[in-house]
C-alpha cells in the first residue's frame, strides 16, 4: 500500500487517471483496500490471497474474504494464482488457494484477477478446468506465448510497467496482439515502475508511461489507447466511466 493514498489518487487524477483499483493480496491488505475504496472517491477494491501467502488459507480467512467481497466497492477477486518462481508457499497450497478463489469469484459473480509467474502452463490448465464462464483478468501480463490462447478464451490482458523495459520485446509484441476489447494497462504500484522511472517506487500516475509504450506497440495514439483501455476496465470491473478533462499527452 502507498504511504499517502490520498496524494497518490490526486496525482493520478492530475495525470488523467479517473478511476483506480487497489488490490488485496492477503487479509490485511484486502481490509485496507476496502477501507480506501470506501473513503476515496473513484477508488475500487479487490480482495484476495496472493500465491505467496497461499499456505495461510483456511476456512476463517476464506469466510473473511467472502464477507469483504460482498461490499459494494469490491469489484473482483484476487490477485490470486500461481507463482512457481519464488515458491513462497507450497505448490499444492497455491493450487488449493487458487481453486478456492476461483470458486469464490463464481459464487459472487465477480471477475478473477490472476497472478502467474513461471507457472503459465499449469495456470492456464487450471483456469481451463475451473474458470470456464468467468471473467478472467491476467494481471501484469506475463504469458506472451499464450496470447493467442488468452484471446481465444476471452481473457483480459493487463500490462504493467515491465512492458516498457528494454528487454521486454516479447511483452510489447503481446500487447500488440491482444484483442482490442480485452486490452488494459495497470500500475502494479509500488512495483514495476515504468521507464523513465524504473528503479523507483511506482505510483498510479505513472501508468501513462506504460500506456504510451502499449500505444506505440499497437500503432495507436494516446487518445485511442486511453479510450480503449478505460472502456475495457470500466466494463470488466463495473466502474463508472471517469469524467475528466482530456489527459495530457503521454510520453514514453
pLDDT in tens, 144-184: 999 999 999 999 999 999 999 999 999 999 999 999 999 99
Distance, CA of 80 to CA of 93 (rounded, Å) = 12
Question: Minimal CA–CA distance to 49: which of 107, 95, 86?
Answer: 95
pTM of the entire predicted model = 0.93
Q: Which of 175, 52, 155, 63 is nearest to 113 (CA)?
A: 155
- Residue 2: pLDDT band (50, 70, 90) is low
Q: Which domains does the chain have, with CATH numbers?
A: 5-237 (3.20.20.140)
Stated length of the chain: 252
DSSP for 141-191, please give it. ---GGGHHHHHHHT-EEEE-GGGGSTT-HHHHHHHHHS-GGGEEE---TTS
pLDDT at residue 249 above 80?
Answer: no
- Confidence band (pLDDT; 50, 70, 90) for 252? very low
| Cell numbers at 88, concatenated | 513462497
pLDDT, tens digit, for every residue of 8-34?
999 999 999 989 999 999 999 999 999
Give tens-digit pLDDT for 33-50.
999 999 999 999 999 999
Contact yes or no for 30/66 (Cβ under 8 A): no
In angstroms, the CA 156 to CA 179 distance is 8
Cα distance between residue 130 and residue 125, in whole Å: 9
Mean pLDDT (the chain) is 94
Amino acid at each position: 500500500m502507498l504511504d499517502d493514498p490520498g496524494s497518490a489518487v490526486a496525482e493520478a487524477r492530475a495525470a488523467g487517471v479517473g478511476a483506480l483499483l487497489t488490490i488485496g493480496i492477503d487479509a490485511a491488505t484486502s481490509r485496507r483496500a476496502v477501507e480506501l475504496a470506501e473513503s476515496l472517491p473513484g477508488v475500487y477494491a479487490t480482495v484476495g490471497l496472493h500465491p505467496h501467502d497461499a499456505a495461510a488459507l483456511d476456512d476463517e480467512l476464506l469466510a473473511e474474504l467472502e464477507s469483504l467481497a460482498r461490499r459494494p466497492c469490491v469489484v473482483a477477486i484476487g490477485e490470486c494464482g500461481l507463482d512457481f518462481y519464488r515458491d513462497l508457499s507450497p505448490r499444492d497450497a497455491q493450487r488449493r488457494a487458487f481453486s478456492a478463489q476461483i470458486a469464490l469469484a463464481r459464487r459472487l459473480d465477480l471477475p478473477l484477477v490472476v497472478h502467474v509467474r513461471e507457472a503459465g502452463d499449469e495456470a492456464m490448465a487450471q483456469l481451463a478446468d475451473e474458470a470456464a464462464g468467468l471473467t478472467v483478468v491476467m494481471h501484469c501480463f506475463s504469458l506472451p506465448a499464450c496470447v493467442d490462447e488468452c484471446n481465444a478464451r476471452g481473457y483480459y490482458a493487463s500490462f504493467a510497467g515491465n512492458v516498457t523495459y528494454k528487454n521486454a520485446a516479447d511483452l510489447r509484441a503481446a500487447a500488440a496482439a491482444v484483442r482490442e476489447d480485452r486490452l488494459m494497462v495497470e500500475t502494479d504500484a509500488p512495483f514495476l515502475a515504468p521507464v523513465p522511472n524504473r528503479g523507483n517506487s511506482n505510483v498510479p500516475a505513472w501508468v501513462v508511461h506504460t500506456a504510451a509504450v502499449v500505444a506505440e506497440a499497437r500503432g495507436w495514439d494516446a487518445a485511442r489507447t486511453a479510450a480503449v483501455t478505460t472502456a475495457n476496465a470500466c466494463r470488466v470491473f463495473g466502474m463508472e466511466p471517469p469524467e475528466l478533462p482530456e489527459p495530457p499527452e503521454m510520453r514514453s
